[in-house]
Amino acid sequence: MAKAPWLLDSDTAAVRAWAIAETRAGLYADALARHQEDRAVPCAGCETCLPWDTALARWQTTAANHRIRLGLDPLSRAQLGKDVTQAALNTSRASGTVDAQIAAEIAALESELGIPSGAGRYVVNDHLSDLIDADSEEREP
């Protein structure tokens, strides 16, 4: 099975914890199955299998929680995708808000200083090379 593309190297500890929980749940399930096979009459909660049942349920729940946090089931993977997309959208909206605030501050400063409107437009430009080119064009006689 291929590595889940959304998992990062920093997720190694979480993946290891999930794998341990899955392994322990599997070991308890196997032990309970062998315990049942060894008996002529099915066991319905002896001193051996009751603690194993409890441990099995605990490790299955732990493994399921890890799967959800890691996006290893379809629903949690969809939720993680939605969260990542929403965060990217919020970041781009925040960036647009910051750009608008900077443009408003430049316009206010231009007005206050009595310089032509749009003279500060290069400050807002995303590309440093454009800013440098514009500055050199303005200085040429």
Q: Binning pLDDT at 50, 70 and 90, where does residue 129 land? A: very low
Q: What confidence tens digit (pLDDT) does each residue in 41-75 have?
A: 777 778 888 899 999 999 999 999 999 988 888 88
* Residue 98 pLDDT class (50, 70, 90 cuts): low
pLDDT at 131: 44
d(CA 40, CA 134): 90
Single pTM value for the model: 0.56
81-90 pLDDT tens trace: 888 777 777 7
Residue 121 to residue 132: CA distance in whole angstroms: 12
Average of per-residue pLDDT across 18-33: 93
CA–CA separation, 116 and 9 (whole Å): 52
Both tokens assigned to 13: 């500890």
In sequence order, the 6+-apart residues with CB closer than 8 A to the CB of 22 are 63
